[in-house]
Amino acid sequence: MKQDEFIARVKDLAEAQTNEEAERGIRATLETLRERLAGNEPNNLADQLPPEIADPLRGEGGRDGFSLAEFYRRVADKEGVEEPEAIRHARAVATVMEEAVTTGKMDHVRDQLKDEYTELFGQQGAGGS
């Protein structure tokens, strides 16, 4: 999936008004995901995304085991938006990631997250090929 396609899909799913709003949601969600994932998992995930999209994932994982509610709070803070909007953006980003990344890679990501994150990432095995 190309950068412009990724942004357009997030914009559509998140009901964002502009590409810039969608891009802020993408960056905030991926930065927060990097904080939550351990070890090299963020880099492995970034390798399967368009390079311009993947940058916020680059680096060592944070290994910070926070809840989904805290995940959404951090996304809202990073984006500078209210939590309901941040939740909508984060879910849109997660859905588009499911389409862009292999099923096996998404399974590795899910393995590191608590069961409550199912709401964010959807069903196991729902990723691309």
**Banded pLDDT at 122 (limits 50, 70, 90):** low
Q: How far is CA 83 from CA 20, 78, 90, 106, in A?
A: 18, 11, 10, 25
pLDDT digits (tens, 9 = 90+) for 58-92: 988 888 889 999 999 999 999 999 999 999 999 99
**Banded pLDDT at 127 (limits 50, 70, 90):** very low
Q: How many domains does the chain have?
A: 1
How far apart are alpha carbons 60 and 117 in whole angstroms? 21
Structural domain boundaries enclosing 112: 3-121
Residue 116's CATH number: 1.10.490.110
What does pTM read for this prediction? 0.92
How far apart are alpha carbons 50 and 35 in whole angstroms? 20
Residue 52 is assigned to a structural domain of this protein = yes
